[in-house]
Chains A and B, each alone.
Chain A
Amino acid sequence: MNKRTLAALVLLCASPLFTAARAEPVAETLEIDGEAMITEAPAPKDPPGHPFDVVKSGWLYREPDTRAMEADSFENPGMLNVERGEEVWNTVEGEAGKSCASCHGDAAKTMKGVGASYPKWNAKAGKPFDIELQINACRTAQMKAEAYKFDARDQVDLTAYIKHQSLGIPVKIDLSAGDMMSWWQTGKDRYYLRTGQLNFACASCHEKNSGNYLRADHLSQGNSNGFPTYRLKQSNLVSLHNRFRGCVRDTRAEPPKAFSDELMALEVYVAWRGEGLSVETPAVRQ
């Protein structure tokens, strides 16, 4: 890196991040192939203390072309991954000689609504599971296959396929099961914890500055209802934990480890913050 580029980077990343520009999210309804999605919902009341009156989908904060890409399932390149996920669902792997379909049959029926209710308490493991961990549990215990590594292509595509079966269904997680509330609390504490050279918490961007621009990015409430999400930046489907890690990296802090309890607690808390919004998987974002 030459000196000038370095100087430019330092300047850009350290200079006032939030510009004066502010814009209301668009007042539009998202219909995916004519099917209406819930992109605004009253904030969940239990437990009390939600920072917003109305929770809003990140879709409302994107530019028209990005929004249009999500509204047509054919034009949404994330659907290519969902189709790949379906192939993975039907592929026999592991010593038990089984595929996901061997036990769960037609995902359109058996997985409908499942993705909208995760993370979910798993009594055996004594912790919440997201879809990724549940897939790995089924792979190791039921299929006698190897667990996927964090963000393996098959893992992301299969997760998207499962979540896509809940398209349109509002997110609602069960915080009364097991020890979910203490994970929610840990997640909340992490959400408000300032870290990194920039000394930002998640809330600094997605609560205090939601609606403002972080340079060119119109900051949303940072909801998780569209994940895995097709990002134009990567030109690929991106997992929720990958997004979390990217957001932490943006504050120049060390991102939490893959599959860590820290990320899982954040996932529980962030899912709750966006309760009531339709599952949009695979959403399209910049």
Chain B
Amino acid sequence: MMTRRRLLAGTATLTAMAGVAILARPAWATVEATEAAIGAFTGGKTPEPGRITLTAPEIAENGNSVPVTVEVDSPMTEGDYVASVTILADGNPNPEVATFHFTPLSGTAAATTRIRLAKTQNVVAIAKMSDGSTFSDRKEVKVTIGGCGG
């Protein structure tokens, strides 16, 4: 098991390393920027909890490639389907990550991709249904990094 100390060290290393080599000194996305992106996607509505499940690792071995899966509970018929799901990350240079668009031909509203997370942060997924209602789920992903190079 991972100790708390190891987690802290990992996070701090990433921040230090990112400042030096990986990133060109970005302003990190803030929680406010993420809230603004949520508002832009939902049309100002506050998404409700439920119906959408976001699966992401508790600990990502490398922030360069973190698998995330979204699944939304929906009959996926012409009259009632999931229109889109957006994924946001509140600790990246920009909160936007990816937006999936589904149709009744998708069969089920589920998708997996691999994303970049610059540090430990919250990943948020918001689903927009064909009737305009919105739902969200969020997970914290701890991002660790190893030795000083390697």
Question: Which residues of A pack against B, CB within 8 Å?
Answer: 1-2, 5, 8-9, 12-13, 17, 19-21, 23, 62-66, 69, 213-217, 232-233, 235, 243, 246-247, 249-250, 286
Contacts A12-B16, A21-B3 hold; do A215 and B62 have CB atoms under 8 A apart? no
B8 vs chain A, min Cβ distance (A): 10
Cβ–Cβ contact A217 & B57, under 8 A = no
Beta-carbon contact of B147 and A214 below 8 Å: yes
Closest residue of A by beta carbon distance from B59 = A63
**Minimum Cβ distance to chain B for residue A283 (Å):** 14
- List of B residues within 8 angstroms of A249 by Cβ: 149-150
Closest to B11 in A: A216
| Structural contact, A5 and B5, CB atoms closer than 8 A | no
Determine whether B2 belongs to the interface, using a CB cutoff of 8 Å to chain A: yes
Q: Report the interface size class on chain B.
A: 20 to 34
- What residues on B are CB-neighbors of A217 within 8 Å? 146-147, 150
- The answer to whether B65 touches A216 (Cβ under 8 A) is no
CA separation between A1 and B10, bound complex, in Å?
Answer: 20
B148: CB under 8 A from chain A? Answer: yes
Contacts of A2 in B (CB 8 A): 19
With A1-B20, A8-B16, A215-B6 in contact, do A235 and B150 touch (Cβ < 8 Å)?
Answer: no
Which residues of chain A are near B150, meaning CB under 8 Å?
A: 217, 233, 243, 246-247, 249-250
A286 touching B146 in the complex, CB below 8 Å, given contacts A5-B20, A12-B16: yes
B144 partner, pick from A12, A69, A215, beta carbons under 8 A = A215
Q: Which B residues from 57 to 80 make CB contacts under 8 A with A? A: 57, 59-62, 64-67
Across the interface, which residues of A come within 8 angstroms of B144, CB to CB? 215-216
Closest CB of chain A to B148's CB: distance in Å?
5
Q: In terms of DSSP, what is the predominant structure of the interface of chain A? A: mixed
- Between-chain CB contacts (< 8 Å), 20 pairs: A5-B16, A5-B19, A8-B15, A9-B20, A12-B13, A19-B9, A21-B2, A21-B3, A23-B1, A63-B60, A63-B61, A215-B9, A215-B145, A215-B147, A216-B6, A216-B10, A216-B13, A232-B62, A249-B149, A286-B61
The chain A residue with its CB closest to the CB of B58 is A63
* B12 contact set on A, CB distance < 8 A: 8, 12
- Mask of B27-68 contacts with A, CB within 8 angstroms, 1/0: 000000000000000000000000000000101111011110
Known: A9-B16, A232-B62. A19 touches B148 (CB 8 A): no
Q: Which residues of B contact A13 (CB under 8 A)?
A: 148
Query: Once the chains are docked, how many angstroms separate the CA of A243 from the CA of B150?
Result: 7
Query: Considering the complex of A and B, which 5 residue pairs feature the smallest CB-CB distances, nearest first?
Result: A216-B144, A217-B146, A232-B62, A216-B10, A8-B16
Once bound together, how far apart are the Cα atoms of A249 and B146, in whole Å?
A: 13
| Chain B: CB-nearest residue to A2 | B19
Evaluate contact between A66 and B148: CB separation under 8 angstroms: no
Contacts of B59 in A (CB 8 A): 63
Q: A65-B67, A216-B61 provided; 11 other pairs, C-beta below 8 A?
A: A9-B20, A12-B9, A12-B13, A12-B148, A63-B60, A65-B66, A215-B6, A215-B10, A216-B146, A246-B150, A286-B62
Q: Which residues of A contact B3 (CB under 8 A)?
A: 19-21
- What A residues does B19 contact at CB under 8 A? 1-2, 5
Nearest Cβ on chain A to B117's Cβ, whole angstroms: 12
Chain A neighbourhood of B62, CB < 8 A? 66, 232-233, 286
State the CA gap A9–B145 with chains docked (Å): 13
Q: With both chains docked as a complex, state the minimum distance between the C-beta of A220 and any C-beta of chain B, in angstroms.
A: 12
How far apart sit A12 and B17, CA to CA, in the bound complex (Å)?
Answer: 10
User: How far, in angstroms, from A66 to B67 measured CA to CA in the complex?
Assistant: 9
Q: Which residues of B contact A17 (CB under 8 A)?
A: 147
Q: Is the CB of A250 within 8 A of B148?
A: yes
CA distance A21 to B146 in the complex (A): 14
Which of chain A's residues has its CB closest to B57's CB? A65
Chain A residue with the shortest CB-CB distance to B150: A246
Contact in complex: A62, B16 (CB < 8 Å):
no
Which of these, A23, A216, A235, A243, contacts B145 with CB under 8 Å? A216
Name the A residues within 8 Å of B65 (CB-CB).
232, 235
